[in-house]
Amino acid sequence: MKDMNILEVAGGKPIKLWTQGVPVEEEARQQLLNTAKMPFIFKHLAVMPDVHLGKGSTIGSVIPTLGAIIPAAVGVDIGCGMIAARTS
């Protein structure tokens, strides 16, 4: 089973999605594409299963930057309860 998909973005960095079996709403997808095209994004974006449209940035996204800080990327739901657990 493939755990992660990569979405190549024309004019931007790739987006790695850990969203197998999880629908990504179109508004959140567009927000991610816009973010991936920012010139200071470092290597790639990462998207977790709790992805959804957010104010300032997409909830469930990890946005690495080089030479920039995006305070709005923290979002208003910091510590919302996502956790990682090893399964068989």
User: From the annotation, which residues make up the binding site for Mn(2+)?
Assistant: 77
- Residue ranges for the known binding site are 77
Q: For 12, what's the count of Cα atoms within 13 Å in the CB-facing half-sphere?
A: 22
Number of helices (H), then strands (E), in the chain: 1, 4
